[in-house]
Chains A and B, each alone.
Chain A
Amino acid sequence: MKLLDMIRMGLGSLIAHRLRSSLSALGIAVGIAAVILLTSIGEGINRFVIAEFSQFGTNIITVHPGKTQTRGASIGIFASDRPLTIDDSVALRRVASVLYSVPAVQGTAEVNAEGRSRRVTVYGVGPDFPDAFSINVASGSFLPHDDPEQARTFVALGSKVRDEIFGSSNPLGDRVEIGGSRYRVIGVMESKGQILGVDLDDTVYIPAGRALELFNRDGLMEINVVYRPGANPDTVVDGIHKTMMTRHGREDFTITPQQEMMDVLSSVLEVLTFAVGALGSISLLVGGVGILTIMTISVTERTSEIGLLRALGAKRGQILSLFLGEAILLSSIGGVLGLSLGVGLAQLLTITVPALPVNTPWLFAVLAETVAVAIGLAAGVVPATRAAGLDPVEALRAE
């Protein structure tokens, strides 16, 4: 018996019972659609988060004060640990393959100017900051390469801070008061919008040394080292480690390559997407039970037909594949239906809720389709085996 004939026969008997065939195919379709929709949302969020994290580039290595054990949680900073200094940051700039080294201190402070006042995020950074993170200056210039210990009191404003305080007038050269000290505005940054909930535009940038004073800290929060794209990150990490060891004498710092963080993040998100997909496949399972039911009924109804086919010389194997094929046909029709339904809904979601990142992972679509076929196979095995095992004489007697 040819495969095409088998498909034709299967389709014929499915069409003969249109209503119940469509209903049980719908069960699978709903399951597949649920899996595809859920994984699309999961994958969309995954990509969104990764894109957010990597928009500053992935060739960043961050140095934190204190030692984080490779296993378990951070032990925190001991009193005896040496703080990260601006000098450390300057030294790291000289490590091979390193392009920029940006010290960072962050806090919030009141900004006063023009009789207005606003509470904003204050970043204490180095002059390399715009190059390191690809955040450009819209007008004026960024903090100059001053002696880090005695940097001049210049400030670069985030676009929102400028809008809120200066409106449409040009702030360049004006003075603003930040946390009680006076700074001169030398630049305005281009708008970057929110990144992971942090509004980069509602921010002012001052020299790291000044920020240490402002927030009364004796050490930096972190140093961000940017290395040449294409350089081996391990070599750069080794270089940073060596420099830091010579400077601090012992390992009281932690080096985290961005790539490593991203890998961990990405794998966590992937597991999440998978888990969500698995949740959706519960409805797929229910669809499978539907097919099992329909096929069982079908075998019972067609007992005399099975007897006839056997009398006409059909082998048990042919009866088996006939019913198995019908179950698979039913579930793959449901699968295709579900695929279009799921992708359609995902597209609709993209259009109606643009804020929600949706991305259909094709691997999951293929996987869902394979699962649909597998479910048809699994649901068909029992009824088909029963059909193949029928005694032809008994079967012919059935009515």
Chain B
Amino acid sequence: MISLAGIDRSFQVGDQTVDALADVNLDIGAGEYLSIMGPSGSGKSTLLNIVGLLDRPTGGVYKLDNRDVTRLTDEEQARVRREKIGFVFQAFHLVPRLTALENVSVPMMLSGIAISERRQRAAKSLEDYGLGDRMDHRPSQLSGGQRQRVAMARATIMHPPVLLADEPTGNLDRASGREVVGLLERLNASGVTLIVVTHDPELGRRARRQLHMVDGRINADNVLQK
């Protein structure tokens, strides 16, 4: 479903060129559970951003569902993001002035879904994530774990087939981290392709397929045999 071929991503810093990704080749099937690990600066986030169509590679071809999405216009990429990709960030990225319910509703609002349907779907989703009694709370009134669950409800509200998580537990204590991982894995079990970037080896080892990156390259790609 995801196919990266010869992906390069270089940044120009002054007169110096930084190769964040160099010749990355990667194929990910639908429903896979993948973790990406590696030292800081190895290009994990950059790779995730390219898969999420937030960033464009400087070279190579990216196919999503057999469609070359590398050279889509900004508008078309935005549409693909909206329909196919959900993001979970380390820093949650909730809109501080909106309630939990409104935060979860934002993707539906961007798609022009009517407010009554939005409320209904967002409320249902928040209940699924155990936040039925927190719908009208603002992010500042929620714990870290609760915030990340709101963010997950938002990431999944449009039922995207791909979920990208960049250090989803990075800002959480162990207990809430484990809780969030459990929810992510539950989604994967229901068929969602899950890619998790993490520094936590314990979390990384839970994935069936584990990538290891160094200096913008994938230097290990292990698939657990079950």
Query: A9 — which chain B residues lie within 8 A by C-beta?
Result: 109
CA distance A396 to B92 in the complex (A): 11
- Kindly identify which residue among B55, B78, B89, B95 contacts A313, using a CB–CB cutoff of 8 Å: B78
For B78-107 the 0/1 string (1 means CB < 8 A from A) is: 110111000101010101111000000011
Counting residue pairs across A and B whose Cβ atoms lie within 8 Å, the total is 69
CA distance A307 to B78 in the complex (A): 12
- Asked if residues A312 and B112 are in contact (CB atoms below 8 Å), the reply is no
Total interface residues in chain A, CB < 8 Å: 27
Q: Check B202 for interface membership: any CB of A closer than 8 A.
A: no
**B52 at interface by CB-CB < 8 Å:** yes
Asked whether B49 lies within 8 Å of A393 as measured between CB atoms, the reply is yes
How many Å lie between the Cα of A1 and that of B105 in the bound state? 12
A399 contacts across to B, CB distance below 8 A? 91
Given A304-B93, A393-B49, A396-B89, A314 and B54 contact (CB-CB distance below 8 Å): no
Query: A316 at interface (Cβ–Cβ under 8 A)?
Result: yes
Q: Does B217 contact A (CB under 8 A)?
A: no
CA distance A324 to B173 in the complex (A): 40
Residues of B within 8 A of A310 (CB): 54, 78, 81
A393-B54 contact given A312-B110, A314-B78, A317-B75, CB 8 Å threshold: yes
Contact assessment for A1 and B109 in the assembled complex, using a CB-CB cutoff below 8 Å: yes
Segment 149-196 of B: residues with Cβ below 8 Å from A: 154, 158
Q: Which residues of A contact B75 (CB under 8 A)?
A: 315-317
Cα A153 to Cα B207 in complex, Å, equals 123
Residues of chain A lying within 8 A (CB to CB) of residue B133: none
Q: Are A311 and B81 touching (Cβ within 8 A)?
A: yes
CB proximity of B85 to chain A, nearest CB, Å:
8
Within 8 A of B (CB), among A1-52: 1-2, 4-5, 9, 12-13, 15-16
Given the known interface contacts A396-B54, A396-B89, the answer about A314 and B110 at a Cβ–Cβ threshold of 8 Å is yes
CB-based nearest B residue for A15: B97
Please state if A313 and B74 are interface contacts (CB–CB under 8 Å). no
Q: Indicate whether A300 reaches chain B with its CB closer than 8 angstroms.
A: no
Which residues of A (291-309) have their CB < 8 Å from a CB of B?
304-305, 307-309
Chain B CB within 10 Å, residue with most, of A5, A312, A315, A316: A312
Neighbour of A12 across the interface among B87, B97, B115, CB < 8 A: B97
> From A9, which residue of chain B is reached at the shortest CB distance?
B109
**CA–CA, A304 to B93, complex, Å?**
7
Return 16 A-B CB contacts under 8 Å, by A number: A1-B110, A1-B112, A2-B109, A12-B97, A12-B98, A13-B97, A305-B95, A307-B93, A311-B93, A312-B110, A313-B82, A313-B83, A313-B158, A318-B110, A392-B54, A392-B55
Other than the given A1-B111, A12-B98, A311-B52, 6 more pairs (CB < 8 A) read A16-B97, A304-B91, A308-B95, A312-B82, A313-B79, A313-B81
Closest 6 CB pairs of A and B: A313-B82, A16-B97, A313-B81, A308-B93, A315-B78, A392-B54
